[in-house]
Chains A and B, each alone.
Chain A
Amino acid sequence: MKVVINADACTGQGRCFGIAPELFDFDDLGNGVVKGDGNVTPELAEKARLAEANCPEHAISIEE
């Protein structure tokens, strides 16, 4: 399981790194970036799902 941010859709709403700081960080402009390779451990799966479900721009996807 892996999280991906579509950088073209991200506008820096800030929900992903608020909900799952283990998986997401922000850049200088406040846009979301995936930490590391984006792989999600089982204990973070729910947070990854919530990050996806809360992004107003639909910029996050989860690849199984």
Chain B
Amino acid sequence: MSHTKPLVEDFATDFDHADPQWVSNPYPIWEDLRTRCPVAHTDRYGGAWFPATHELVSRVAKDTENFTSRSVVMSNLRPTDEDLPAPIGIAPPITSDPPFHAIARRLVLPAFSPGVVNALEPQIRALCNSLLDDMGDAAVVNGGTQFAQYIPVGVIQQMLGFPLEDIEMFLQIVIDVLDSIDSTAEDRQATADKNRAYFEKQIQDHVDNPRDDFTSYLLNAEIAGGKLELDHVIGTMVLTLVAGIDTTWSAISSSLWHLAQNPDDLARLVNEPELMDVAVEEFLRFYAPVTMARLVAKDHDFNGCPMKKDDWVLLGFPAANRDPEVFEDADKFIIDRRENRHVAFGLGIHRCAGSNLARLELKVAIQEFIKRYPTFTLENPSEVTFSPGQVRGARNLPILVK
């Protein structure tokens, strides 16, 4: 990714989540902000704030009066009231505010409840094993581009009932939306139009041939006795794709990155499989991939900061997860951390609707990877790259497996 913007010198007054320093290792930056600020500001992106403590992140997440979710991905294109159709928003329910939010969320939650999600375990395990089989007996495999990224994309493709051969295209949609912080309005619109045409085609196919999947579920769903508007259906599909893929992919790849560098943790997981549930929560705390965004809904003072309507707020759940006020030895990865009130899936009414699925995918992916490769290391640590923007995870991850 090319950087034409000036590098950040002081993250307290000029932070940028796309700055190379933040992308490669944000944790010391957040620690510094917690002690110095704790709310950072930047004039970039048209003006944005970044609360770095658990307490303040929590306060923003739970305050739907002063902060709106109508746009949750911070970019240079700050949307106006007209751009974002209230109350639906462009990707309900994540971009919806109360009271519509509760209606849109109630609609999708049953499809992601633990009962429904747990039934997917065998197919997730089969998917992981077919990816591992595809790697053959290579000495170096790519934990990111050959394994982690294809797990959520395969699960979501099956869930939406879209053609298997479109998998590479789904990945591109996700990358277009999330890794294009600095792209132009024209590029964004062209991409959005192309994606919309694709979704309309898949919807038509489901109208003609209804089946037991999430797309047909949305087409049959009703609000107040009427079917959903087409924009609502497409918005929720886009959300499923964007929120369900590179998030989980990032959690899986970062966890593998950790295990490749920490042989003691790897050995414990291999030898004590009963540790897995607790370990998964620590992976989620320590490598929480997702930072959300809000827009300030009205001028107000927040912890001494004069927030103006339409300022961005970057909602750093990963930073909250490293706050020593809440977590003992917050900067230490403790694989058997029994008390772990992490907020990787957010807090409040927008808690990640897919959290049960994400957790299951992460657990099964690690289980199957370490079963296949009980010892592994990084082939070359300096080759590992991390994604820029609001979803952080290892992307290029060459792993030496023998």
Contacts and interface: CB of A to CB of B under 8 A. Distances in A.
Contacts of B355: 12-14
B359 A29 contact: no
Contacts, number: 54
Contact of B348 (A11, A15, A29, A30): A11
Interface in B66-115: 106, 109-110, 112-115
Give the secondary structure class of A's interface: loop
Given A50-B338, A50-B339, A54-B341, A29 B110 contact: yes
Nearest to A11: B351
Interface residues of A, number: 20
A37 interface: no
Interface in A36-64: 50, 53-58
B277 A18 contact: yes
B356 A11 contact: no
A27 B359 CA distance: 18
Nearest to A19: B277
B349 interface: yes
A13 B338 contact: no
Contacts of B342: 56
Contacts of B349: 11
Interface in B330-370: 338-343, 345, 347-349, 351, 355-356, 359
Given A19-B277, A56-B345, 15 more contacts: A14-B355, A14-B356, A14-B359, A17-B114, A26-B113, A28-B110, A29-B106, A30-B109, A30-B114, A53-B338, A53-B341, A54-B281, A54-B340, A54-B341, A56-B347
Nearest to B340: A54
The winner among B112, B113, B349 for most chain A CB atoms within 10 A is B113
Contacts of A27: 113
A59 B73 CA distance: 28
Contacts of B106: 29
A22 to B, nearest CB: 15
Nearest to B350: A11
10 contacts: A12-B109, A13-B351, A14-B355, A15-B281, A53-B338, A53-B341, A56-B343, A56-B347, A57-B347, A58-B341
Interface in B150-203: none
Q: Which 10 A-B pairs have the closest CB atoms?
A: A11-B351, A29-B109, A30-B113, A53-B339, A26-B114, A56-B343, A56-B341, A28-B110, A14-B356, A30-B109
A23 to B, nearest CB: 15
A28 B347 contact: no
Interface residues of B, number: 23
Question: Which among A12, A17, A29, A57 has the highest number of chain B CB atoms within 10 Å?
Answer: A12
B113 A11 contact: no
A54 B109 contact: no
A30 B340 CA distance: 20
Nearest to B110: A28
User: In the complex, which of the residues A14, A56, A58 has the most CB atoms of chain B within 10 Å of its own CB atom?
Assistant: A56
Nearest to B54: A56
A53 B110 CA distance: 26
B114 A14 contact: yes
Contact of B113 (A13, A18, A28, A54): A28
Contacts of B113: 26-30
A30 B359 CA distance: 14
B123 to A, nearest CB: 20
A58 B349 CA distance: 14
A50 B115 CA distance: 22
Nearest to A17: B114
B352 to A, nearest CB: 9
A50 B278 CA distance: 11
A19 B280 CA distance: 12
B365 to A, nearest CB: 17
Contacts of A57: 347-348, 351
A13 B345 CA distance: 8
B339 A12 contact: no
A54 B339 contact: yes
Interface in A3-22: 11-15, 17-19
